[in-house]
Chains A and B, each alone.
Chain A
């Protein structure tokens, strides 16, 4: 197809998760025949992260089921996978990456796809009973801890924290959810839907201790004993899950010559510098439709953006103007969001019924629909995606997304 004059002879993708793998696949799909290397910090074959807090954590799936591709699919990519070796530095001008084991990898085009790193408590390393959840190994460790836990406290009232609380509770654990908001996800969903989510968790037996910041952990003999709240209260725990956010994994880019500011700053086609691109959770690019820099931490963006980055590498510079989408599964409720929500939006239920636990809500700000949220109504929610498309289109180009 378009692997023409400007196509590089070799591409290095730094990051072997959904965004990195999808970029490699999209390059091949679009006709790229040059050398392709995928570098991954973890030893595992590329795997999917959304199931970690749900099917893998609950044990409904064996960990292998979270692998993104079968071995034969990976080998048909004709890419060299260098796994278990983290990138430690990038020289953007020389287009060279150094790795932890001492490898030096050079390519005409380099794609940064290193994702996120969970935020942690100061001093939590080495404290038994404290668990982040970002990797397959984290999920295995937390699963093992949960099966023996007597009191679990999940610190974090966002998507990840609430999913983990739901999974742990469904596994039979005694679970407390702590976080600063008065209801889970309130800053994103607004009070109406956040209260519905709080009610769901309370109904299923999660103890909600919200509205108070967490100040630290209690410990005894190297094991966590509880979570300290700003109110002075202590929530006793033998397992503490740390899920209060994450940051783009960009520390290895210090001195690279790239602009790093809450992610790798890119132009509208996801290019960070000549021959350097960023994709997925780590990329903060200029969304021409919104007229602003945007960084999305969600699974569908990883693959969608990968397609655009592959095109850009092959010389086709189209602005990337997606309609953001994410979903979360908590107990038997699937919540899906198209567009952008905000806590102060005017929220109207446009289909279904909140009391019945099945509905679609429309979010409007300044008379414009900016988002739709579905609660156990996936198909109906997707069919309303069109209502938010205009907000994300670049009016200058008139393009569709």
Chain B
């Protein structure tokens, strides 16, 4: 799995950080997403897929076959 984020779409809600803190963090100054791990381990894939769907800005994408 390959994860990408669109930091212009990100609305700094931090929902992804609450669901998958191993993969996402937020910048201190403006809360915009920081992608900690673009190729997360298999046991995190379900959580990352949930992040894609619950992100209130639709700012997270995954490519499953990468």
Nearest-Cβ distance from residue A210 to partner chain B, whole angstroms:
27
Q: Nearest Cβ distance between residue B66 and chain A, in whole angstroms?
A: 15
Q: Give which listed residue, A29, A48, A299, A381, contacts B53 with CB less than 8 A.
A: A29
B14 contact set on A, CB distance < 8 A? 378-379, 382
Band of interface residues on A: 20 to 34
Asked if A68 is at the interface (CB within 8 A of a chain B CB), the reply is yes
Place the interface of chain B in its size category.
Answer: 20 to 34
Q: How does the 8 Å CB contact mask read for B28-51 relative to A, with 1 for contact and 0 for none? A: 101110000000000000000110
- Please, which residues of chain A bring their CB within 8 A of the CB of B9? 65
B27's partner among A26, A48, A379 (CB-CB below 8 A) is A379
Residue contact A300 to B13, C-beta cutoff 8 Å: yes
User: Pick the contact of B56 from A26, A29, A303, A381 — CB < 8 Å?
Assistant: A303
Bound CA–CA A68/B14 (angstroms): 18
B12 in contact with A334 (CB, 8 Å) = yes
B13 near A325 (CB under 8 angstroms)? yes
Given the complex of chains A and B, what is the CA–CA distance between A45 and B27 in angstroms?
32
User: What 1/0 mask marks residues of chain B from 1 to 40 whose CB sits below 8 Å from any chain A CB?
Assistant: 0000000010111110110000000111011100000000
For the complex, give the distance between the alpha carbons of A131 and B9 in Å.
26
C-alpha gap A329/B9 in the complex (Å): 13
Give every chain B residue within 8 A of A379 (Cβ-Cβ). 12, 14, 26-28, 31
A377–B30 CA distance with the chains assembled, in angstroms = 6
Q: Contact at B26–A382, with CB atoms within 8 Å?
A: yes
Q: Is A307 at the interface (CB under 8 A from chain B)?
A: yes
- B26 / chain A contacts, CB cutoff of 8 Å: 378-379, 382
CB-based nearest A residue for B11: A327
Contact A48:B31 (CB < 8 A) given known A303-B53, A382-B17, A382-B26: no
A26 to B53, CA, bound (A): 8
Question: Distance (Å) between the CB of B14 and the closest chain A CB?
Answer: 4
Docked Cα-Cα span, A303 to B18, in Å, equals: 14
Using a CB-CB cutoff of 8 Å, which residues 345-401 of chain A contact chain B?
A: 376-382, 385
CB pair A29–B11 under 8 Å, yes or no, is no
Give residues in A with beta carbon < 8 Å to B: 22, 25-26, 29, 48, 50, 65, 68-69, 299-300, 303-304, 307, 325, 327, 329, 334, 336, 376-382, 385
Contacts A334-B11, A382-B31 known; list 11 others, CB within 8 Å: A25-B53, A29-B50, A29-B53, A68-B58, A299-B56, A300-B56, A304-B54, A378-B32, A380-B28, A382-B17, A385-B18
